[in-house]
Structure 1
Amino acid sequence: MQVEPELVPFGEYTPAAILGQDAILDDRIPRIEAGELPSRYAGAMLLHHFFSRLGVEEVLSSLPRPVARRYDAPAVILAATFGFALGSSSMEGTKHLHRVDAGALIGLASFPELRTLRPRLADIAEASDPFSLQRSFAKAMLNTDEVPPELYFCDDHFVTYTGARTLAKGYNTRKGRPERGRDDTFVIDENWRAVCFSSSEPKGLSVNLPPVIDQLIEICGNRPIMVGFDRGGSYPKVFSALRERGVDWVTYRRAPLVPPAVAPEIYLSEVDTKHLSYNLADEIVEVKGYGQARQLSLYQGDKVVFQILTSDTRSNSVNLLRALRARWRIENTFKYVEEHHGIHWLCSYEMEELPDSTVVDNPVRIKARSQYKAAEAALARAKELLGAEVASPSVSSSTANDHETVTRELKAFVATATDDLERAKSALMGIPARLSRNEIHPGLTREKPRLERRALQMVCRLLAYNAELDLARRMNAYLGDDDEYRGITRNLMHLGGTITFTPKVITVSLCQPDSPRLSRALGLLIEEINHQSPHLPGDGRPIVYVLKTKIN
C-alpha cells in the first residue's frame, strides 16, 4: 500500500526578503521526507554512488545563490545532470521526462520544467565560473583514486554551426574544409574519464592546448603529468610551452619524417598474454625551435611508418609507443559523448556582437604583390629579348644601323621595366601583409556564442558521462561483457522500481531485469555499493539498494 509522501521545503537559500516568506514557502519545490514513490527511472539512483564518492554537495556549495522561487542552484545542476544521464541530448529533451519520477532521483517532489531549467542554468552560468566548477569535480574524482593517473590525452573537437549568424571559421578535419563553428578542447585521463575542457572560437590545437593544460596542472597539483596529443599540436612552440610548465609530452612528428641516425632494434613486449615485437630506432634528435627531444621511429620492414617525439628520456620505448597509440581513447570518447550526451548541441541562440578582428591577408597587398610580380616578369622578358638581340641580331635587323636601333629600344625597355619594378617594390614594402577584417571593411562585425552558458551544460554532460562510465565499469566487473556493457548500463538508467523515503533511510527497490546473468551482476553490484552507504547530495540519509524478488 502506497503512502502519500510527506513534503518539506528544500534548499538553504530562501529569498524571503525579496518575495516574502509566505510566497517563497508556497512556491518552492519541497524535498521528500517520507513516502513510497514508484519510478520508471529508479535504476538511475545507482549514480549516487559516484556522486557520493566525489562529494558533489561540497563542490556545488560554492555556486552562487541567485534568487530562485522553486529550485536552488545545486538542484538545477543535479537535474540537468540526471537529464543527460537519462538520454536527453539537449535541454529540450528533458521535457519528455516524467517529472515526478525524475524528481525523485534528486529527492524532490517534481523535476524542473524546461522553461525553468534553461533560464536557471543560464543565470547560474553567468554568475559563476563553469570551468572552475569542472576543475573542482575533476580534483574530487582524481582524489578518490588509489593511484591517480599520470597519462592524459588532449585534443580539439570542432563543432560546426549551420545557422545564419556570422561566426568565426575553423577547419573541419572530418569534412576537410573550413566552416563556421567553435572549438572544444578536452583532456581525458588514461582511464577514459573526462577531466577538463575549454570552449573558444576556432584557433587550432597548437593555440588551445597550453591554456587547457594550465587547468590540468591546477587539478593535479604536484603530481607528474604526461600529455599525449596528435599532429595538430606537434609544433616547437607547443613543446616549449609544456616544458615551461614542467609537463612531459608525447606526440607524432609531422611530415616530412627525418631518417633515423641509428640502426633499429627489436623490442619485445607482453600485452594481455600476447607476445609482441617492435622494430624501433631510439635516438635523441635536435628539434628546430625547441632543442633536444627523444625520437622513436617505428619500422615496418625496411620502411619507417611513423615517428614519435617526446620529452621523456627515461621511460621504456615500447611503453611510450603504446601510450601514444592509446590516444585513440579521446577520439572514441568524442564519438561516445557526441552520440549519447549531446556535446555538439547548440545551447543558446543568443550571441555577442563583436568587431571582426580576425586577421586575414590584406587585399591591397595582394594586388600590389601581383603588380610586383608582373613588373618582375616584364623586366625578365625585356632582359631576355635584349640578350637575344645582342647575341644574334634578329632577321629584321638587316643592317648595322637597324641592329643598333633595336638594341637601343630594348635597353630603354629594360630601363623602364627596372623603374617599374622599383616603384612596385617600394609600394609593396609599405603595405602590411595581414590586417583585421574590420580594418579592411570598417564596421564589419562577427558574432560569438555565449560560451559560459554552454560551458555549464558541458559540466553537467561530463559529470553524467563520468558517473555512467564509473557505474558501467563496476557493472562489467560482474557482467564480463566488454562489447555491450556500456549499452546495458545506459538501459539500466531506465530500470523501474520503487523509491521509499523515510526519516532515516532511503530505500531503492529495483525490478529484476529479464536476463538472468544481468540480474546476477546487478545483485552483486548492489551488494558492493551498499557497503559504501551512498546518499543524495545535501541529504545525510543513506541509500540502500535492494533487488525485488521476481514473481513468475
Structure 2
Amino acid sequence: MGMGTRNVDARLAASIGQLEEPVIPDFQALQDVPKGGVLFALPALLVTGLLKYSENFFKLSKGYYGLDSLLIILAFIALVRVKSIESLRYSAPGEWGKLIGLDRIPEVRTLRSKIKQLTQDEGPQQWSEALCKEWMQSAPEQASILYIDGHVRVYNGQQTKLPRHHVARQKLCLRATTDYWVNAMDGQPFMVINKAVDPGMIKVIENDILPQLEKRLPTFVNAEELKSDPLLHRFTLVCDRESYSPPFFKRMKAQRVACLTYHKYPGENWPEEEFLPYAVTLSSGEQTQLNLAERGHCLSNGLWVREIRKLSQKGHQTSIIGTDYRSEMIPLAVAMFARWSQENFFKYCREHFGLDKLVDYCIEPVSESVKVVNPEYRRLDSQIRSSQGKLNRLLARFATLTLDAPIEPDKVEPFLQKKTICQEEIEAFQVQIKTLKEKRKQTPHYLKVKDLPEEEQFQQLSTKSKHFIDTIKMIAYRAETAMANLLRETLSRPDEVRSLLRAIYSSEADLIPDHEQGTLTVKLHHLANRSYDVAIQKLCDELNSTETKFPRTNLRMIFKLGSK
C-alpha cells in the first residue's frame, strides 16, 4: 500500500470498489511537520477559487481521495516550489499526507492517473473560464485594462517535432509552443490560451481572446453611453509591438476596444522643449517623475491615434500610441510601462512555479484545418535571405574597389580583373535571387496540416492536462499575491515579501486539532530572521479573521506563531 499508510481498512475497501465516499480528513496532533507553513496559504487559496465550481466540472470515480484533497495537494506543491509532479517521487508521502489530514498522498503514478481522469473532457477549460469570469467580475478595476503577451514554451522532447518558434530570451529558433496570457496591471493572471501553431498575436486576440472576454468581462459602460459618445471605449488591451497594425487598431476601435502599444515606426525625435515633467505613481506604488509629451498622429490607414512619448535622461524617446481618447495622458503612460509586470510574471513563474514543465508525456492530433508555413516556402525564403546577404556583402566590397595608385598598365590590369570577377559574382547572385523569388512566388505560403509532407507531419502536446495544472498555478500565484499585499506594508524592504512567503511555506509547523472545540491550530515555527515576526503576526491575525474551515471538516483553522 505504500510508505506512510495507516488507514488500511479504507484503502482495502477503495481497492475493491466498496468505499462509497472519499476518506474524510482526520488531523492528528503532530509536531515539526515539514512544510506545515503552507497551510497558511489555504484561506487565500479557497478565497481565490481553488474549490469553487470544481464539483461542477470534475467527477472522480469512487476512491480513497476526494477531489478537494487532490486539488489542495496540487496547489500546495506549487506553493512550496515542487516544480513537477515527478519530483514528488523524492518526497515523503506520509509527511505530505499530514497537511491534508490523510495518512499519505497518492503515489506519482496514481496522481497522474487521477489528473488524466479529470482532464478527459472539457472540464479544465470550463473550470478555468468560470474562475476567470469570477476574478474579472470581483475586481472590475483590474479587468478594465488587460495585458496580452505570448510566452514561448520550449520543448526538448522526442515525442513529436513541433514547429519552430523564435525564443527571444535565448535568441534562437527552437521547437516550442506558444501560450498567450491575459494579465492584470499588477501581473495577476486571468486566462491562458495554448497554441501549438502560432498564428500571431493579432489573430489570437481576434479569434480566441476577444470572444472569451466578451462573455466574461463586467459591463464598464452601458449601450446608451457608447451611443452618445463615439470615442468612448469599453476596455483596453495593452500589448507589445507585435500587435502594431493600423487595420487591427481600426477593427478594435469599431468594437469599442481601445489598444495601447509601442509605436513600431516612431520617426524623428520631437523637440525636447515639448516634454514636461510629471509626478506619477507607477503600478508598483513607486512614485517617480516622467518627462512626457503628447500629439495626435495619423496612421497609414487614416486612423487618428494618440501618441505619447517619454524622454529618458539620456535623451531617448519612447513612443506609445493608443486609441483611448478619453483617459488622461499620465494614466495611459503608466499603463503602458506597467507591461513589464507581465514580463516579471513570466520570469517569476518560470523560476518558481515550473511554468515550462511538462505535465505529462501525452500527445494529441492537431486540427487538420490549422494552417502552417509551407516547408518548401520556408526553404526558398531562407535561400533568398542567404543569397541576398551574400549579394549585399559583394556590393559593399565592389563599392570599395578603387585604384589609389598611379595609372600604370601593370597595376590597372589586376585591378580591372578583380573588379570584373566581383561584378560577375554579383550578376550571378542577382540571377539566382530572381529565380528563387519566382519559385517562391509560385509556392503556396501556407498549407493545412493534413497537406504537409509525411516527414513534416507533427502532433501537439497534451493541452487539457496542461491547462488544468496551469489553472492551479494561476490560483496559487494569485493566492500568494493576495498574501503579499497583506504583508508588504509591514516590511522595511517590501521587495522581500515573496521571499518571506516562500520561507513560510517551507517552514515546519505544529498541528494541534481540538475536535471538541472544532479547531485546528497551525503553529508556525519562528523563521531564521526574527525581524519577520511582526509581519507574520499580522498575517496570522488577518487569516484568523477569515474563520476558514478545513474542507470537509468542522475544524476552524487558527494560525499562530511560536516555538515548541
Q: 1:278 aligns with which of 280, 291, 304?
A: 291
**Within 2, Cα distance between the matches of 1:145 and 1:26?**
41
Give deviations 1:137-156, integer Å, cap 9, x for gaps. Answer: 33434555595453222111
TM-score of the two chains, using structure 1 as the length reference: 0.77
In the superposition, relative to structure 1, how do residues 64 and 279 fare at CA in structure 2: closer, same or farther (>3 Å)?
Answer: closer
Q: 2:445 aligns with which of 434, 447, 450?
A: 434
Q: 1:523 aligns with which of 515, 529, 537?
A: 537
1:83 Cα shift? 1.2
The one-letter amino acid of 1:469's match is: T
Residue aligning to 1:457: 469
Q: 2:305 aligns with which of 284, 288, 293?
A: 293
Residue aligning to 1:511: 525
SS at match of 1:546: strand
1:365 Cα shift? 12
Residue aligning to 1:109: 103
1:26 Cα shift? 5.3
**Within 1, Cα distance between the matches of 2:286 and 2:41?**
34
Residue aligning to 1:136: 130
Does the Cα contact within 8 Å between 1:156 and 1:186 map onto a contact in 2?
yes
In the superposition, relative to structure 1, how do residues 52 and 24 fare at CA in structure 2: closer, same or farther (>3 Å)?
Answer: same
Unpaired segments ≥5 residues, structure 1: 11-18, 371-423
Does the Cα contact within 8 Å between 2:187 and 2:341 map onto a contact in 1?
yes
1:222 Cα shift? 1.4
Say whether residues 1:174 and 2:169 are aligned partners: yes
Residue aligning to 2:30: 37
Q: 1:264 aligns with which of 274, 282, 287?
A: 274
**Within 2, Cα distance between the matches of 1:275 and 1:521?**
27
Say whether residues 1:342 and 2:321 are aligned partners: no
In the superposition, relative to structure 1, how do residues 474 and 429 fare at CA in structure 2: closer, same or farther (>3 Å)?
Answer: closer
SS at match of 2:177: strand
The alignment covers a number of residue pairs equal to 483
**Worse-matched range after superposition: 310-319 or 323-332:** 310-319
Does the Cα contact within 8 Å between 2:161 and 2:459 map onto a contact in 1?
yes
Q: 2:185 aligns with which of 190, 199, 209?
A: 190
The alignment-based identity, stated in percent, is: 17
1:34 Cα shift? 5.2
**Within 2, Cα distance between the matches of 1:472 and 1:54?**
14
**Worse-matched range after superposition: 449-458 or 19-28:** 19-28
Q: 1:230 aligns with which of 217, 226, 240?
A: 240
Residue aligning to 1:220: 217
Give deviations 1:60-104, integer Å, cap 9, x for gaps. Answer: 121221424232333322221111111111111223333233223
Residue aligning to 2:17: 24
Unpaired segments ≥5 residues, structure 2: 221-233, 385-434
Say whether residues 1:206 and 2:202 are aligned partners: yes
1:428 Cα shift? 7.5
**Within 1, Cα distance between the matches of 2:532 and 2:306?**
48
1:8 Cα shift? 12
**Worse-matched range after superposition: 104-113 or 352-361:** 352-361
Residue aligning to 1:50: 44
Residue aligning to 1:386: none
1:270 Cα shift? 4.4
**Within 2, Cα distance between the matches of 1:246 and 1:539?**
48
1:494 Cα shift? 1.7
In the superposition, relative to structure 1, how do residues 27 and 340 fare at CA in structure 2: closer, same or farther (>3 Å)?
Answer: farther
Does the Cα contact within 8 Å between 1:362 and 1:440 map onto a contact in 2?
no
**Within 1, Cα distance between the matches of 2:51 and 2:379?**
59
Say whether residues 1:327 and 2:339 are aligned partners: yes
Give deviations 1:240-263, integer Å, cap 9, x for gaps. Answer: 453354332211011353676998
In the superposition, relative to structure 1, how do residues 430 and 310 fare at CA in structure 2: closer, same or farther (>3 Å)?
Answer: closer
SS at match of 1:335: helix
In the superposition, relative to structure 1, how do residues 331 and 65 fare at CA in structure 2: closer, same or farther (>3 Å)?
Answer: same
Say whether residues 1:77 and 2:63 are aligned partners: no
The one-letter amino acid of 2:344's match is: N
Give deviations 1:268-288, integer Å, cap 9, x for gaps. Answer: 2244796625141x2232223
1:525 Cα shift? 1.4
The one-letter amino acid of 2:502's match is: R
Name the structure with the higher strand share.
1
Residue aligning to 2:492: 480
Superposition RMSD in Å? 3.7
Give deviations 1:103-137, integer Å, cap 9, x for gaps. Answer: 23334332222111112112212223323322333
**Within 2, Cα distance between the matches of 1:125 and 1:270?**
46
**Within 1, Cα distance between the matches of 2:530 and 2:509?**
17
Does the Cα contact within 8 Å between 1:8 and 1:32 map onto a contact in 2?
no
In the superposition, relative to structure 1, how do residues 261 and 486 fare at CA in structure 2: closer, same or farther (>3 Å)?
Answer: closer
The structure with the largest alpha-carbon Rg is 1
TM-score of the two chains, using structure 2 as the length reference: 0.75
**Within 1, Cα distance between the matches of 2:379 and 2:87?**
51
**Within 2, Cα distance between the matches of 1:464 and 1:286?**
44
**Within 1, Cα distance between the matches of 2:299 and 2:379?**
33
Does the Cα contact within 8 Å between 1:31 and 1:109 map onto a contact in 2?
no
